[in-house]
Amino acid sequence: MALSGDNNDRGELRIHENLDELRTDLADYIAELSEAAVKERGVFAIALSGGSLIGLMGKLCEAPYNKTVDWAKWYIFWADERVVAKNHSDSNYKLAKDGLLSKVPIVPSHVHSINDSVSAEEAADEYMFVIRQLVKTRMVGVSDISDCPKFDLILLGMGPDGHIASLFPNHSVLDETDEWVTFITDSPKPPPERITFTLPVINSASNVAMVVTGENKAEAVHSAIDNIGPDCPSLPARLVQPSKGKLIWFLDKPAASKLDGFQFSE
């Protein structure tokens, strides 16, 4: 049985007894958002990340979702990507293709991955240009309080250090407010060259889901969600605060184990 509740301005918490329960809840959530966006806008613009997230989305490849989701209306992006070849083991595109995209009837031209044959800076610029064109045609929505793209859903994992996308603690890109997509060449975890959505884009989304599992993330989950006072360093994950959208945390029990007041009936 999942625990669900609101944690003031840190979004809705959904804490799951086990990973299977989390996978089912996440698939239900994504399918519902897809259906609502297609009904309202005719398309569903979704941004993915790497790490364990794709595996946790795996139920979408199974019945009933593989038949009931309107896959032809999906437009797929990446909130961050490693600047490596698309067939490289570090590629978030390859991870998503192998684990999800190759198993459902996505329209290939709706899959927007980065140009893997240019520098990180050029890849970020090109990716921003692609998104701009799709905002112009309203395949991607636009925020009504800024000119930022308004994705229907941005799915994010979180590292034990509290990083999200390729926004790492104490990195200068956390302060980037002008660009939609930026790049880094000094990632603290390999590979060093990456492109990433900036915080204004993440916080302009209609929905942001933070999907975090494992005991090694528990301290970062506590720091990102609980009221820890002004003296603690602000993790990138804590800076995810959608301006008009909805934030939901999908957690398993180990990841949630250090939250203030955490109790789970056995």
Does the residue 265 lie in any domain? no
Number of C-alpha atoms within 13 angstroms, CB side, residue 107?
A: 11
* Unique residue bearing structure tokens 């293709």: 97
pLDDT at residue 7, as a whole number: 58
Does the residue 11 lie in any domain? no
pLDDT of 139-185, one tens digit each? 999 998 889 999 999 999 999 999 999 999 999 999 999 999 999 99
Does the residue 263 lie in any domain? no
Is residue 212 predicted with pLDDT exceeding 80?
A: yes
| Sign of the torsion formed by the C-alpha atoms of 80, 84, 85 and 87 | negative
* Number of separate domains in the chain: 1
Does the residue 3 lie in any domain? no
Does the residue 10 lie in any domain? no
Do residues 222 and 158 touch, judged by C-beta distance below 8 A? no
pLDDT of 58-87, one tens digit each? 999 999 999 999 999 999 999 999 999 999
Does the residue 175 lie in any domain? yes
Q: What is the span of the domain harbouring residue 149? A: 18-246
Does the residue 261 lie in any domain? no
Is residue 266 predicted with pLDDT exceeding 50?
A: no
pLDDT at residue 264, as a whole number: 56
Does the residue 7 lie in any domain? no
